[in-house]
Amino acid sequence: MGAEDRTYHSLLARHEAMRLRQQLLSPGKDPGTGRGGRSPAEETYDAAADRQIILRDLDLVGPLDELITDLYRALFARHPSLRSLFPATMAFQQEHLARAFWYLIEHLDRPEEITATFTRLGRDHRKLGVRPAQYAAFRDALCEALRVRAGEYGSPELERAWTRMLQLGITAMVRGAESALHEPPCWRAAVTGHRMCGPDLAVLRLLPHETFRYRAGQYASLESARLPHTWRPYYLADGPGPDGEVEVHVRCTGPGGVSEMLVHRTAPGDEVRLGPPKGDLTLGAEAPETLRLVAWDTGWAAMKALLQELDGRVRRSPAQRARRVRLFLGADPLSGLHDTGYLAGLEQRHSWLTVVPAAAGAPGEGTYDRLALAVSRSAPLTEGRTLVAGPPDMVRTVTAGLVHAGHSADRIVHDPLPVGPPVLPRFTQRHGPAGDFLPPGRQVPA
């Protein structure tokens, strides 16, 4: 048994002892399951009250970056072997955790949304090698960090509010992981093709060693063998095919990250790993009447997959043809558009498809203003759905423009936007609604 396994089994034994102790101290719980007579849905948890406590005393434990630094310091001091689960550079991991904490705080009065989001997160975290008992170690490290930050001003009430909030997310993550035991934590894949489409953009073809099931429009995180424990999300640029290959479009956004490894340091024959597919940017089962597809730069990959699926539906059944599909495709500069040969051929073959290119805004305009204007002027906005893929700021700009022009918000589909600002927030800031913590198309070094 290796050192990591011995550490894990020690954590597991400690976790089980804590569970048994909680059972003994909690009358009315079933000794076999640890559950009370009421169902989890019936058990009362005043999440709104905990949120008020956390918000009231944010300044005691902030700033958030220092709280998270203390958390990881405590975690690795208690369990040094857990350090191997994390990348060498912790900055991105700390930002990811900051966004997760902000999501919990902002949504604590809506626990059903937290459960849905963290269930998906738990399924995805299996690829990192995280095991249920290790969540208990993380919770203990948070408690220690809270005590360090609050000092003499801390209180059991504040600690309990934070740990209950964290436990809500952890419980959902464990359930998500357990529900995905029928599939691998991640998929090893061979690089079968690597084509440069410019100085900093590559199209990769990947062949997973095991069956990789996904839907057109979804995305998955990739890990390069040259940068272990570091994952970044990319849209899958084609629908599931008989050969099992998948295509991803990667733009290098900075030195030393996953995108640089995939664009400049990867070749056919190399191996990467794929996380489980995610995302809701998919076609419905019904035939669309009017469909708007809006993409910026590598967001085109998602739209390429959706158009391939729609093309296949039309071939199998002409009744599935949409009355009109408009593809709004933006890039900066417009010459940065790639895969244009495939797109031109598709437009020539299908009278129902219209492609509308859009460049970045001129000086004094927002980068995505011209794209948003082109989409919002497409008529009639009262019909059909609009699917949007690209950087979060582009998604926000296009969505706001459509809603302002009268398009119904519930007919606009995009993947969840990141929580909070793109840098570690301070507790004195407030943030608007947000969803997932790292969607594809994000403009940071990746």
Beta bridge partners of 205: 193, 247
pLDDT digits (tens, 9 = 90+) for 131-177: 777 888 899 999 999 999 999 999 999 999 999 999 999 999 999 99
Sheet holding 232-235, edge to edge: 232-235, 219-224, 271-274, 187-196, 201-208, 246-251
Q: How confident is the model at residue 260 (pLDDT cuts 50, 70, 90)?
A: very high
Give the separation between CA 289 and CA 370, rounded to whole angstroms.
Answer: 25
> Quick check: 310 pLDDT over 60?
yes
> Quick check: 24 pLDDT over 80?
no
Across the chain, how many H-helices and E-strands are there?
13, 11
CA atoms within 13 A on the CB side of 9: 5
| Amino acid, res. 76 | F
pLDDT digits (tens, 9 = 90+) for 342-373: 888 888 888 889 999 999 988 778 899 999 99
Q: What is the pLDDT of residue 302?
A: 96
| Stretch 416-434: mean pLDDT | 43
For residue 318, whether the previous peptide bond is cis, meaning omega lies within 30 degrees of 0, is: no
Give the separation between CA 357 and CA 318, rounded to whole angstroms.
Answer: 27
Q: How confident is the model at residue 322 (pLDDT cuts 50, 70, 90)?
A: low
C-alpha distances out from residue 53 to 64, 106, 161, 420, 434, Å: 16, 13, 7, 20, 21
Beta bridge partners of 296: 330
Give the separation between CA 280 and CA 21, rounded to whole angstroms.
Answer: 41
Q: Where are the beta strands (DSSP E) in 197-279?
A: 201-208, 219-224, 232-235, 246-251, 271-274
- Which domains occur in the chain, in start order? 3-179 (1.10.490.10), 187-274 (2.40.30.10), 290-413 (3.40.50.80)
Name residue, tokens 């158009």: 307
Q: Is 76 exposed, middle or buried (0-12, 13-18, 19+ CB in 10 A)?
A: middle
